[in-house]
């Protein structure tokens, strides 16, 4: 049992040691604590996964946390197939990113702090996925939000970083509020927060309604929508997507770890975990699918025109998360989790690759180190980075027999099968795949091909990143290529869908109605869009480099809307942020003059009057105090025995 | 046969005498001795209880009280010496640096 | 009046008188010496209560170690001029009243104590058969092992603390 508890506790230990002794003693040696800790939990997670593979499901209560009447919460661990997949993703990618950070953050003033927060983040994420009840999951949920705030605002001396951290935290609060309400509602309905008890009793409440503001609402739909609200916040789905691109202010390993591979997938994980609840509510499922499908295409269109290398990848993440929700929404839970798993590899690779580029440009002392418009021609300077980037891009765009192909195809196929709404959503998904292919290759061509568009003096200083950065990249590239081979669709290989069967006890296995011919059509069309996107990008950025400018001027209004991300940020600013700020300004002004001033001036004079009297007691003589104490004891003892 | 109450009253008398000494003497060292006296008064009652209840726990507790008393005497006297080095007096009514 | 009561009466009277002497002596050295006499009487009382081991500890540790420590400290301090002054503080009437009231409260409460009918397993016969030392040792090293170890840490802390406090500051 200790083995399982240690999986999250090792990173916690690393956090405690680094945060307590980092500033004065550990300093630049923080990785000697953090990296072994994460590797240790990786090894333990692997051994736990092997046990799960052999058919064992671990569900233990470690410690009774809260016992209050019928409210009973224990700190417990549940490692089933779903958790096993998440454990592998979090600890393996976490380990690689820790190692990468050793090189990337080298020489930073907050080196120990960085590793402390990363460790705390891994601890929180592991708590989230290993919990066996909703309250512990909520604990992990909030803790990852907190860590994300710390890490986005890691360079807090930069105002934009601090603002981005606050934005992420506040936007997440909106979602978490819904999630919190959902958890409360689950407790009120089922009288328990334990997964097994809740899911076991879920069938009994189908059709029950609850009166809310005079309307009758289906209880289980309400619960699911509230939970999904939390998932939308954490997984950056429209309309809560605004925080994720801004979160790119944090150091790049953070973007890779939190905003691509792990934290943002918490929402997907949560919905998959609660699949029993969602399956009972068609309304909630449709909502999930529509939000997912819409976000997939919505974010992809924004990514088309962004110039910041990390922002493009960030919007790509939002779009891919949309795919996952699309899969969950049509009931293909295992396809969603499968995409989560493959996406973690190639997206972490893309982020770390862009980190490698930024690192190189930073050391070459270029000013605008994240702007793709001043990059170009980096292929000959950074061959390793270039080639891993190519692999990741091939994977994400869905070129056959790489990871992304299998998982994305599985999602599109399952969506296609799911009725009329499914056909429409499949169309959205395929369109998004086209856009994905386009902007991914655009990123490659702008960054690595053509001529260097920045300062020539800088160019001479650009060179490949050190081994500690490139080795994790190469390992991740292996994952980006091969991770999907556990989920080969049955049309290619009988019993190829290993991960689907593995996850089936938790997530079920959807029965498809489609024919093989339809499946071949779906696969062919996704290969077609992937290559079409590639070709368009090639024509626009290699063959005919003047074309983008002409197109932009021809469709200036469209470009402007896309470039400004549909003005969503401005919209929120006008409708929510500014009114709140103005209202609070007014309230503060009135409050300040009348109440605060009065208190500020009144209290000290009052204290002065009192303290004049009280100062006489303050003799400073030990015996006086002791005598007062003795008299006090006398009074208490006397009261206890004579007055009662 | 001696009743238990006699022992307890003896212990109470010793405790009160020690308390009076602690609260009214000026000499810091004598205050410490009074403290030891109070601890010993408690010990008497503990041993008596132990005897009359036929339980060994009282004696164990006395053992720990003696340990704590030893530690307290060592630290307390060291504090007195440290104070005396800076400020050659041990009259408590002249020691009033607690007054801000 | 049985013999036991006479024995107790002697010890009780002497201990009260000696306590008063300890508290009232002007010279701290005299106080300490009277304290030693008091400890010998307490040890006698412990013997009377079948606590032979504690009687020995009382003499060895209290009289032999702690009181000698007091004497050493008094020697280190130069207390000549203090002997000429009044020995009590200004607040002594208040303390006297408090102490007397405290005694009244304690006696009126404690006078009502009666021994419960259910008694523990450590009867006089059993302790006599096993020996006081062995009885205490058995309990101390099994049931009270952790507090015992903590007590040893406490003593270690006291040693270190005393050294740190009393040593000369090295500038």
What are A26-59's pLDDT values in tens digits?
778 888 888 999 999 999 999 988 888 888 888 8
C72-128 residue pLDDT tens: 888 888 777 666 777 788 888 888 999 999 899 888 887 777 767 777 788 888 888
For residue A110, give the nearest of A154, A152, A146, A153 by alpha carbon.
A154
- Separation CA A249–CA A152 (nearest Å): 6
The Cα of A635 is separated from the nearest Cα of chain C by a number of Å equal to 9
- pLDDT above 70 covers a percentage of chain A that reads 98
Radius of gyration over alpha carbons of chain B, in Å? Answer: 17
Of A627, A637, A641, the CB nearest to C95: A627
Of the candidates C65, C113, C144, which has its C-beta nearest B70's C-beta?
A: C65
**Which residue in the block uniquely carries the two structure tokens 């000026």?**
B26
Lowest-confidence segment of A78-92, A493-507, C47-61 by average pLDDT: A493-507
Q: In C, residues 30-69, which contact A (CB 8 Å cutoff)? A: none
pLDDT score at C150: 92
Report the range out of A368-377, A418-427, C59-68 with the highest average pLDDT.
C59-68
Residue A485 per-residue DSSP state: G
Task: Chain C: give the shortest CA distance to residue B70, in Å.
Answer: 6
**What is the rounded distance in angstroms from the CA atom of residue A17 to the CA atom of residue A39?**
16
Interface with chain B: mutation pick from C19, C84, C169, highest number of B CBs within 10 Å: C19
- Say if residue A591's pLDDT is above 80: no
Q: Please judge whether A619 and B100 are an interchain contact, meaning their C-beta atoms are less than 8 angstroms apart.
A: no
pLDDT of residue C171 exceeding 60, the answer is no
Chain B residues 41-80 with a CB less than 8 Å from chain C: 43-44, 47-48, 50-57, 59-60, 62-64, 66-75, 77-80
Residue A551 has pLDDT above 80, yes or no: no
For residue A614, what pLDDT band results from cuts at 50, 70 and 90?
confident
Q: Determine the distance in angstroms separating the CA of B93 from the nearest CA of chain A, rounded to an integer.
A: 6
> Is A622's CB within 8 Å of B95's CB?
yes
Q: Answer yes or no: do B99 and A623 touch at CB < 8 A.
A: no
For chain C, say whether A634 makes contact (Cβ under 8 Å): yes
Which residues on chain C are in Cβ contact (under 8 Å) with A623?
Answer: 89, 91, 95
Please state, in angstroms and rounded to a whole number, the distance separating the CA atoms of residues A61 and A440.
45
- State how far residue A628 is from chain B, nearest Cα, in angstroms: 10
Q: CA–CA distance from C85 to each of A502, C76, C80 (Å)?
A: 91, 20, 10
Structure confidence at residue A304 (pLDDT): 83
Q: What is the pLDDT of residues C29-63, one digit of tens each?
A: 899 999 999 999 999 999 988 888 899 999 998 88
pLDDT digits (tens, 9 = 90+) for A453-485: 777 777 777 778 788 888 888 888 888 888 888
Q: Do C109 and A624 touch (CB under 8 A)?
A: no
Report the C-alpha gap between C96 and A415 in whole angstroms. Answer: 91
Q: Contacts of residue C89 in chain A, CB cutoff 8 Å? A: 623
- Provide the shortest C-alpha distance from residue A637 to chain B (in Å): 14
CA B4 to chain centroid:
22
Element (H, E) at A77: strand A71-79
Is some CB atom of chain B closer than 8 A to the CB atom of A611?
Answer: no
The helix/strand count (H/E) of chain A reads as: 28, 4
- What's chain C look like in SS3? CCHHHHHHHHHHHHHHHHHHHHHHCCCHHHHHHHHHHHHHHHHHHHHHCCCHHHHHHHHHHHHHHHHHHHHHHHHHCCCCHHHHCCCECCCHHHHHHHHHHHHHHHHHHHCCCCCCCCCCCCCHHHHHHHCHHHHHHHHHCCCCHHHHHHHHHHHHHHHHHHHHHHCCCCC
Residues of C whose CB is below 8 A from A631: 98
CA A134 to chain centroid:
18
Cβ neighbours of C99 in A, within 8 Å: 630
Q: Does C98 touch chain A (CB under 8 A)?
A: yes
Question: Would you say domain B4-94 falls under CATH 2.40.110.10?
Answer: no
Q: From chain B, pick out residues whose CB is under 8 angstroms from the CB of C69.
A: 73-74, 77
Distance CA A475, CA A99 (A): 11
Task: Tell me the shortest Cα–Cα distance from A634 to chain C, in angstroms.
Answer: 6
List of domains in chain C: 1-84 (1.20.120.1200), 124-171 (no CATH)
Q: Do A621 and B19 touch (CB under 8 A)?
A: no
Task: For residues A165 and A154, give the distance between their C-alpha atoms in angstroms, rounded to a whole number.
Answer: 8
Query: What's the whole-number mean pLDDT along residues A284-291?
Result: 89
| The predicted structure's pLDDT at residue C83 | 64
Residues 595-624 (A) with a CB less than 8 A from some CB of C: 623-624
- Residues A373, A444: contact at Cβ < 8 Å? no
CB of A182 within 8 A of CB of A210?
Answer: no
Q: Which of A34, A176, A45 is nearest to A114 (CA)?
A: A34
Helix axes A622-638, B4-24, angle to 10 degrees: 150
Any CB–CB contact under 8 A between A636 and chain C?
Answer: no
A572's CB contacts (< 8 A; 6+ apart) are A242
**A633 to chain B, closest Cα gap in Å:** 12
> Does B95 contact chain C (CB < 8 Å)?
no
Of A618, A627, A630, the CB nearest to B99: A618
Q: What percent of chain A has pLDDT over 90?
A: 7
Q: Residues A343, A408: contact at Cβ < 8 Å?
A: no
In whole angstroms, give the CA distance from residue C140 to residue C149.
10
Alpha-carbon distance of A184 to A192, in angstroms, equals 10
Residue identified by tokens 């704590």 is B68
Record: contact C46-B47, CB cut-off 8 A? yes
Each residue of A192-217: pLDDT tens digit? 888 888 888 888 877 777 777 777 88
A226 preceded by cis ω (within 30°)?
A: no
pLDDT at A549 over 80: no
Residue A589's CB is within 10 A of a number of other CB atoms, namely 10
The answer to whether A556 touches A464, Cβ cutoff 8 Å, is no
Query: Quick one: which H or E segment has residue A209?
Result: strand A209-212
Contact residues on chain B for A626, CB-CB shorter than 8 A: 22-23
Q: What residue of B is the nearest CA neighbor of A625?
A: B23
Residue C41 and residue C17 in contact, taking contact as beta carbons nearer than 8 Å: no
The Cα of A606 is separated from the nearest Cα of chain B by a number of Å equal to: 20
Nearest to B99 among A619, A623, A630 (CB): A619
pLDDT in tens, A383-416: 888 888 888 888 888 888 888 888 888 888 888 8
Query: Is C1's Cβ below 8 Å from some Cβ in B?
Result: no
- When comparing pLDDT for A215 and C69, which is higher? C69
Q: What is chain B's length? A: 100
Cβ-based contacts under 8 A for chains A and C: 24
DSSP lists the bridge partners of residue A73 as A66
Alpha-carbon distance C67 to nearest alpha carbon in chain B (angstroms)? 9
In this complex, do B33 and C70 lie within 8 Å of one another by their Cβ atoms? yes
- C105 and A637: CB-CB below 8 Å? yes
Residue spans of the domains in chain B: they are 4-94
Convert the pLDDT of each residue in A218-251 to its tens digit: 888 888 999 999 898 888 888 888 888 888 888 8
Whether residue A627 and residue C102 make contact (CB cut-off 8 A), yes or no, is no
Q: How far is CA A601 from the centre of its chain?
A: 48
Of A175-189, A365-379, B24-38, which gets the smallest average pLDDT? Answer: A365-379
- With contact defined as beta carbons under 8 Å apart, do C29 and C73 qualify? no
How close, in Å, is residue B100 to chain C by CA atoms? 21
CB contact under 8 A, B23 and A618: no
Q: What is the mean pLDDT of residues A326-344?
A: 88
DSSP state letter for A308:
B
- Interatomic CA distance for residues A407 and A396, integer angstroms: 10
Query: B with C: how many residue pairs have Cβ under 8 Å apart?
Result: 233
Interface test with A, best of B38, B79, B98 (most A CBs within 10 A): B98
Q: What is the ipTM of this complex?
A: 0.90
CB C69 to CB B20 under 8 A? Answer: no
Mean pLDDT of the A6-25 span: 87
């Amino acid at each position: 049992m200790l083995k399982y508890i240690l999986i999250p506790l090792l990173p916690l230990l690393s956090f405690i040691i680094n945060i307590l002794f980092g500033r004065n003693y550990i300093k630049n040696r923080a990785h000697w604590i953090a990296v072994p800790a994460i590797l240790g939990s990786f090894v333990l997670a692997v051994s736990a996964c092997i046990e799960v593979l052999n058919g064992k499901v671990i569900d233990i209560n470690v410690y009774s946390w809260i016992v209050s009447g019928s409210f009973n919460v224990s700190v417990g661990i549940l490692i089933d197939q779903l958790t096993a997949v998440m454990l592998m993703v979090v600890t393996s990618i976490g380990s690689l990113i820790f190692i990468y950070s050793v090189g990337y953050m080298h020489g930073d003033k907050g080196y120990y702090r960085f590793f402390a927060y990363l460790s705390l983040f891994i601890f929180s994420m592991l708590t989230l996925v290993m919990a066996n009840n909703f309250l512990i999951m909520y604990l992990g949920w909030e803790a990852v939000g907190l860590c994300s705030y710390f890490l986005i605002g890691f360079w807090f001396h930069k105002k934009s970083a601090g603002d981005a951290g606050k934005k992420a935290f506040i936007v997440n609060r909106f979602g978490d509020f819904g999630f919190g309400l959902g958890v409360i509602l689950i407790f009120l309905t089922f009288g328990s927060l334990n997964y097994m008890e809740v899911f076991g009793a879920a069938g009994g409440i189908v059709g029950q309604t609850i009166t809310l503001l005079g309307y009758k609402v289906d209880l289980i739909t309400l619960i699911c929508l509230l939970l999904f609200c939390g998932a939308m916040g954490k997984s950056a789905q429209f309309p809560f997507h605004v925080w994720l691109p801004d979160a790119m202010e944090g150091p790049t390993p953070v973007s890779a770890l939190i905003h691509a591979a792990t934290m943002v997938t918490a929402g997907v994980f949560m919905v998959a975990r609660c699949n029993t609840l969602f399956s009972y509510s068609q309304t909630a499922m449709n909502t999930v699918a529509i939000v997912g499908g819409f976000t997939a295409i919505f974010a992809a269109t924004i990514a088309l025109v962004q110039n910041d290398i990390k922002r493009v990848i960030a919007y790509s993440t939002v779009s891919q998360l949309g795919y996952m929700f699309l899969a969950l929404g049509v009931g293909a839970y295992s396809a969603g989790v499968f995409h989560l798993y493959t996406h973690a590899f190639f997206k972490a690779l893309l982020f770390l690759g862009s980190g490698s580029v930024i690192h190189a440009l930073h050391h070459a002392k270029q000013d605008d180190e994240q702007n793709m418009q001043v990059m170009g021609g980096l292929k000959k300077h950074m061959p390793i980075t270039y080639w891993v980037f190519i692999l990741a891009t091939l994977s994400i765009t869905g070129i056959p027999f790489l990871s992304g192909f299998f998982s994305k195809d599985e999602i599109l196929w399952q969506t296609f099968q799911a009725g009329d709404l499914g056909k429409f959503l499949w169309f959205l998904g395929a369109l998004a795949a086209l856009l994905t292919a386009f902007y991914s290759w655009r990123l490659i061509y702008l960054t690595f091909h053509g001529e260097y568009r920045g300062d020539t003096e800088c160019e001479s200083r650009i060179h490949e990143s050190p081994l500690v950065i490139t080795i994790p990249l190469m390992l991740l590239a292996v994952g980006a290529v091969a991770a999907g081979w556990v989920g080969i669709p049955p049309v290619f290989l009988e019993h190829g869908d290993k991960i689907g069967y593995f996850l089936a006890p938790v997530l079920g296995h959807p029965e498809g109605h489609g024919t093989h011919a339809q499946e071949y059509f779906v696969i062919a069309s996704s290969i077609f869009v992937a290559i079409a996107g590639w070709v368009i990008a090639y024509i626009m950025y290699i063959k005919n480099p003047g074309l983008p400018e002409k197109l932009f001027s021809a469709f200036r209004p469209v470009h402007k809307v896309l470039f400004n991300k549909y003005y969503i940020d401005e919209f929120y600013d006008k409708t929510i942020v500014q009114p709140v700020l103005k209202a609070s300004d007014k309230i503060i002004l009135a409050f300040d003059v009348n109440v605060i001033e009065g208190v500020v001036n009144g209290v000290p004079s009052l204290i002065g009057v009192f303290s004049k009297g009280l100062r006489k007691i303050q003799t400073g003589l030990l015996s006086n105090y002791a005598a007062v104490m003795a008299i006090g004891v006398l009074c208490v003892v006397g009261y206890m025995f004579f007055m009662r | 046969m001696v009743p238990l109450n006699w022992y307890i009253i003896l212990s109470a008398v010793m405790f009160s005498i020690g308390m009076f000494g602690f609260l009214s003497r000026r000499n810091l060292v004598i205050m410490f001795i009074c403290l030891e006296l109070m601890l010993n008064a408690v010990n008497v009652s503990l041993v008596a209880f132990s005897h009359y209840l036929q339980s060994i726990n009282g004696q164990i507790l006395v053992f720990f009280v003696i340990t704590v008393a030893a530690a307290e005497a060592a630290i307390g006297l060291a504090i007195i010496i440290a104070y005396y080095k800076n400020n050659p007096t041990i009259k408590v009514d002249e020691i009033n640096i607690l007054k801000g | 009046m049985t013999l036991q009561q006479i024995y107790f009466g002697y010890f009780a009277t002497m201990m009260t008188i000696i306590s008063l002497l300890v508290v009232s002596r002007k010279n701290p050295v005299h106080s300490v010496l009277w304290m030693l006499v008091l400890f010998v009487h307490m040890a006698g009382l412990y013997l009377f209560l079948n606590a032979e081991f504690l009687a020995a500890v009382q003499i060895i540790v209290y009289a032999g170690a702690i009181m000698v420590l007091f004497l050493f400290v008094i020697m280190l301090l130069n207390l000549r001029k203090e002997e000429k002054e009044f020995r009590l503080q200004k607040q002594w009437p208040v303390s006297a009243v408090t102490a007397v009231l405290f005694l009244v409260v304690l006696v009126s409460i404690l006078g009502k104590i009666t021994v419960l009918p259910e008694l523990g397993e450590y009867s006089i016969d059993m302790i006599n058969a096993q020996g006081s030392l062995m009885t205490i040792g058995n309990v101390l090293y099994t049931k009270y092992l952790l507090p015992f170890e903590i007590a040893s840490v406490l003593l270690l802390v006291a040693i270190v603390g005393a050294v740190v406090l009393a040593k000369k500051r090295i500038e």
